Amino acid sequence: MNLIKVLVLNVTLAVACSAQAIGTTGVSGDFNGHHYVELEDSSWGDAEAAAVSLGGHLVSINGQSENEFVRQVFGSGTWIGLMRIADGGDTFVWSSGDALGYTNWSSFEPNNSGGHENAVELYSDGTWNDLGAEQLRRGIVEISPVPEPSVGIMLVAGLGIVGAMARRRQKAA
């Protein structure tokens, strides 16, 4: 997890010579309880930094249905959260820290053309291509809901307090 953060930071620093706020396009959607927001064109590193500032990460596509949702709502020319962890390496990770399971590479991809294709974009057919992180694409942000204390937990805690008060009253009697 920390390693990923350091790597993301490295990519961010390498790509972002001048930090500038990346705006949103106004296109957004919801899938499986998660909220998705589209960013304006930027490098992959700037897009991931903007995603973090919005409380999420670039999208981690965890299955075919999520891939199809992203393709339909946001289309091609978009960054997803997948990144190559080392120049020339074969290992890709999600910037969110999600485990990499489902993949949907385009034919002959990832080809690492030129040796520095360390970021991943979505094609119009929903397949994936590794691409230089300095290229400009619309980042897709995935924001997971913040867990709230459940009613059940609050109820148990409340009963505990009532129980303690009852015991104290018994002792006093």
Applying CB under 5 A, the residues found at the interface with Ca ion are 60, 62, 109, 111, 117, 129-130
Q: CA nearest 36: which of 4, 88, 74?
A: 74
- Minimum CB separation from Ca ion for residue 131, in Å? 6
Give least dist CB 28 to Ca ion, A: 15
User: At closest approach, how far in Å is the CB of 7 from Ca ion?
Assistant: 19
Q: How many helices (H) and strands (E) does the chain have?
A: 4, 8
Of 68 and 109, CB closest to Ca ion: 109
The values of phi and psi at residue 27, to 5°, are -85, 130
Two structure tokens written together for 30: 């919801």
Q: What is residue 4's DSSP assignment?
A: H
Nearer to Ca ion, 60 or 104 (CB): 60
How far apart are CB 132 and Ca ion at their closest, in Å?
9
Q: Where are the beta strands (DSSP E) in the chain?
A: 24-31, 34-42, 57-58, 78-84, 92-94, 119-122, 128-131, 137-143
- Phi, psi for residue 43 in degrees, rounded to 5: -65, 165
Spatial distance between the Cα atoms of 37 and 145, rounded to a whole number of angstroms: 14
For Ca ion, the closer CB: 24 or 31: 31
What is the rounded CA–CA span in Å between residue 99 and residue 62? 9
- Of 64 and 151, nearer to Ca ion (C-beta) is 64
Least distance CB 57 / Ca ion (angstroms): 9
Residue number with CB closer to Ca ion (12 or 60): 60
